Amino acid sequence: MAVLGVSGLFATETDDYDPSRFFAFYHDATACLVHNGRTLAAIEEERLNRDKHTNRFPINAIRACLDASGTDARDISHVAYFFEEAYTDQDIAREALDDPGMPLVPSRTLLHQRITEATGVDLSDRPTSFLTHHETHAASAFYDSGMSSALIVVSDGNGERDGICVFAGDGDGIRLLHAYNRSNSLGHFYTAVTKYVGYKNFDEYKVMGLASFGDRSVYRKLFSELYAFGPDGNYALANDRVVKTLIEEVGPPRRHDDPITRVHKDLAAAAQEAVERIGLHVIEHWLRRTGLTDLCLAGGVAQNTTLNGKLLKLPGVRRVFIPPSPHDAGAALGAAMIIDRRLHGRVHDVFSPTAYLGAPLGDDEHIRARLDAWGDFITYERPEHLERDVAAALAGGTVIGWTQGRAEFGPRALGNRSILADPRPAENRDRVNLMIKQREDYRPFAPVVTAPDAATYFELDGAEADHSYMGFVVPVREEHRAGLGAITHVDGTARVQALREEQNPRLYRLLKEFEAVAGVPVLLNTSFNNHAEPIVQSVDDAVTSFLTTGLDLLVVGPYVVQRTDTPAEALAKSRLEIPRFCQVVRTVDRHGENQVIIRTSRPNRRTPVSAVLAELLREGGRISDLPLAADEREELVREVRRLWDNRLVVVSPS
């Protein structure tokens, strides 16, 4: 009998719950299955509905978890949700005040209704637990750490009442030591600065990368006047004054298409320093107070890998663990872990011996069938020596999309849904940033390295840590920085993934083959997606991303894929549809009539489209079926290609 853990809101594609109203809440919707001390599957809904950070109910993820684990829905014995019931009911009620047409149904009823929609089985008679949000985060870290006892610090935007919670974990479970009010949230502070610098929710990692280019001292005084330390690890942070202070003292906020200036870099650096100072103030106090030497972190702020790297140098810290999914997706897993521990106690040292807990790619026959379907766009072959051939291509400058097995759980690509490149030439960083990922040129890339060789290239001294999940920024050894130019950040650091052979044998073989031709068992490893989509999940996702980026080759399972030289003709013959999270709408105003694609989830952008394409998308047709002149057809193909690049149309091969 399995425990189903769930995060996310109760919106679907067809109901009345507008997910854009809850954009900052219930995000990263996820389903997890846990049984008798083991994680069977953990899948984020965004990977399946293709809506990044989606908060729609994880209907597809529940189905995928059941399929991936071979579990019958009738064998779900308990359901666990990642927030308290009263809090969730009140949140929905507050939103309903602004929308009298929105249905107001108890969250417990909604949860059971949605699970029934997903599974076809009524599970409303199963015990259902709504848990404290920060406790679910704490469980996701401690119960996968393998530690017998640890200090657990959870920091994010907020839980029900708190911005930071400190727990102690041991053989008896997890107990709360102290809670810091949500008004002092480090997550909200960092998000406020992120928006001021011209980014949006969930872009905090961009500010962290930008911080390395700035001077912390320039705005140190400005930020230091917004917080104060108290005794016993307490602090006060004036989040209500952050934006007002920045506008008054620095000027108007940056718009996303404005250039990034020295001011923005210095602000990012000073904000990062403030988060580090406050975080270390809290953590150091509770380490002293409890005498504990092992440390676990979870919550969105635990994705601040620069801060995490500094924890490795704290005196008296023996071990640090950060799970592969410290954000709200991990809270769904933590919720399931809590209930499973109540039922069975501690069965194994960890619930999740691997991070590859997502939906599978499919067997070789399935992969081949999907590649055949894209035959107008691609050709493929199955080389006898896959890893050797791919390593040679990488060493020769080829950038490759690499897709294998079950997807990773969490926001990091750990080698099953990755873009891989030679880590040596610094120009590869710019090439992957601008031509392939289509993102800011300052952002760093992570390396993956064979674990036995990791300390040769990276400074891993200090506290012991599991570097399997890219959770820590550490220095690249000075003698290797020039030779690893593509993965060494401007400050001489990298967010390293140290891979053990048993974790991912095929990727490990590729690293060793690359070492044989290039001299280093290291590769540049970044998530396989473009700027407009989540990490790829399926064969079709991988082919789509390959065809709409500057990738040179695609590897899917044992197959190596290349483009054909007739993409326009292939696109004209393909079936075009609207994505699940979009609508085609006719608008009429005093300036006339327009056709637009509207995202039904945040950001709610409106993208104009031609009347011909709007009608085609409504019907789900093909350009080749339309009676168009050659120049009209070419223009329509170009329009579709622009929208496809931004994932505003779905292209299905003929």
Angle between helices 107-119 and 59-69 (to 10 degrees): 50
What's the pLDDT tens digit per position in 445-457? 999 999 999 999 9
- Taking the domain 2-132+331-344, which CATH number applies? 3.30.420.40
Backbone angles phi, psi at 52, to 5 degrees: -60, 135
What six digits make up the tokens of 621?
A: 């047709």
The pLDDT, as a whole number, for residue 588 is 86
Mean pLDDT along residues 266-278: 98
DSSP H or E stretch at residue 389: helix 386-395
The pLDDT, as a whole number, for residue 98 is 81
Mean pLDDT along residues 150-169: 98
Architecture of domain 364-563: Alpha-Beta Complex (3.90)
DSSP H or E stretch at residue 449: strand 446-450
**Cβ-based neighbour number of residue 410 at 10 Å:** 27
Mean pLDDT of the chain: 95
Cα distances from 553 to residues 309, 385, 400, 406, 419, in angstroms, run 34, 16, 5, 20, 10
Q: What is the DSSP string of 481-535?
A: HGGGTTT--TTSEEE-EEE-TTT-HHHHHHHHHHHHHHS-SEEEEEES--TTS--
b/e map 272-287, b = 16+ CB within 10 Å: bbbbbbbbeebbbbbb
The pLDDT, as a whole number, for residue 448 is 98
Among the listed residues 168, 433, 456, 191, the one whose alpha carbon sits nearest the alpha carbon of residue 300: 191
The pLDDT, as a whole number, for residue 603 is 67
The pLDDT, as a whole number, for residue 318 is 98
Q: Say whether pLDDT at 23 is over 60.
A: no
Residue intervals in the chain for CATH 3.90.930: 567-652
Q: Say whether pLDDT at 304 is over 90.
A: yes
Cα distances from 596 to residues 176, 396, 590, 606, in angstroms, run 50, 44, 16, 6
Cα distances from 499 to residues 299, 324, 507, 522, 545, in angstroms, run 24, 13, 9, 10, 25
The pLDDT, as a whole number, for residue 16 is 55
Mean pLDDT along residues 585-614: 87
What's the pLDDT tens digit per position in 57-66? 999 999 999 9
What six digits make up the tokens of 66?
A: 């059941």
The pLDDT, as a whole number, for residue 21 is 61
The pLDDT, as a whole number, for residue 74 is 98
- Taking the domain 145-322, which CATH number applies? 3.30.420.40
Task: Give 12's pLDDT tier (boundaries 50, 70, 90).
Answer: confident
Among the listed residues 555, 526, 520, the one whose alpha carbon sits nearest the alpha carbon of residue 539: 555
| 80 CB-near residues (< 8 Å, 6+ apart) | 3, 4, 5, 6, 128, 129, 131, 136, 332, 335, 336, 338, 339
DSSP H or E stretch at residue 634: helix 630-645
Mean pLDDT along residues 488-501: 97
Task: Give 203's pLDDT tier (boundaries 50, 70, 90).
Answer: very high
Interatomic CA distance for residues 543 and 556, integer angstroms = 9
Q: Are 176 and 286 in contact (CB under 8 A)?
A: no
Angle between helices 630-645 and 611-619 (to 10 degrees): 70
The pLDDT, as a whole number, for residue 19 is 57
- Taking the domain 567-652, which CATH number applies? 3.90.930
The pLDDT, as a whole number, for residue 175 is 98
What six digits make up the tokens of 153?
A: 């610090």
Q: Say whether pLDDT at 563 is over 60.
A: yes
| 384 CB-near residues (< 8 Å, 6+ apart) | none
The pLDDT, as a whole number, for residue 498 is 98
What's the pLDDT tens digit per position in 511-544? 999 999 999 999 999 999 999 999 999 999 999 9
Interatomic CA distance for residues 20 and 598, integer angstroms = 12
Task: Give 22's pLDDT tier (boundaries 50, 70, 90).
Answer: low
Annotated catalytic residue 344: no
Among the listed residues 499, 437, 494, 444, the one whose alpha carbon sits nearest the alpha carbon of residue 467: 499
Interatomic CA distance for residues 632 and 626, integer angstroms = 10
Mean pLDDT along residues 375-388: 98
Backbone angles phi, psi at 122, to 5 degrees: -80, 110
Interatomic CA distance for residues 347 and 39, integer angstroms = 12
Interatomic CA distance for residues 528 and 531, integer angstroms = 10
Q: Pick the range with the lowest mean pLDDT from 21-25, 268-272, 349-353.
A: 21-25
DSSP H or E stretch at residue 403: strand 400-403
What six digits make up the tokens of 282?
A: 């809290």
Return the amino acid letter for 57.
F
| 70 CB-near residues (< 8 Å, 6+ apart) | none
Task: Give 101's pLDDT tier (boundaries 50, 70, 90).
Answer: confident
- Indicate the DSSP class of residue 476: B
Task: Give 106's pLDDT tier (boundaries 50, 70, 90).
Answer: very high
- CA torsion sign, 628 to 629 to 633 to 636? negative
The pLDDT, as a whole number, for residue 15 is 63
Q: Pick the range with the lowest mean pLDDT from 27-36, 399-408, 468-477, 580-589.
A: 580-589
Angle between helices 107-119 and 85-97 (to 10 degrees): 100
Q: Are 178 and 282 in contact (CB under 8 A)?
A: no
Q: What is the DSSP string of 543-580?
A: HHHHHTS--SEEEETTEEEEE-S-HHHHHHHSEEE--T
- Maximum Cα interatomic distance, the chain, rounded to a whole number of Å: 77
Residue intervals in the chain for CATH 3.90.870.20: 364-563
Mean pLDDT along residues 636-651: 96
Interatomic CA distance for residues 654 and 643, integer angstroms = 19
Q: What is the DSSP string of 228-296?
A: EE-STT-EEE-GGGHHHHHHHHT-SPPPTTSPP-HHHHHHHHHHHHHHHHHHHHHHHHHHHHH---EEE
Among the listed residues 120, 81, 92, 105, the one whose alpha carbon sits nearest the alpha carbon of residue 3: 81
The pLDDT, as a whole number, for residue 572 is 96
Residue 379 bridge partners (DSSP): 562
The pLDDT, as a whole number, for residue 589 is 82
Task: Give 458's pLDDT tier (boundaries 50, 70, 90).
Answer: very high
Q: Provide the percentage of residues in the chain whose pLDDT is more than 70.
A: 98
Among the listed residues 330, 331, 324, the one whose alpha carbon sits nearest the alpha carbon of residue 354: 324
Interatomic CA distance for residues 492 and 480, integer angstroms = 10
The pLDDT, as a whole number, for residue 179 is 98
Q: Provide the percentage of residues in the chain whose pLDDT is more than 90.
A: 88
Residue intervals in the chain for CATH 3.30.420.40: 2-132+331-344, 145-322
Q: Are 28 and 7 in contact (CB under 8 A)?
A: yes
Q: Say whether pLDDT at 284 is over 90.
A: yes
Task: Give 17's pLDDT tier (boundaries 50, 70, 90).
Answer: low
Compute the residue count for the chain: 654
The pLDDT, as a whole number, for residue 434 is 82
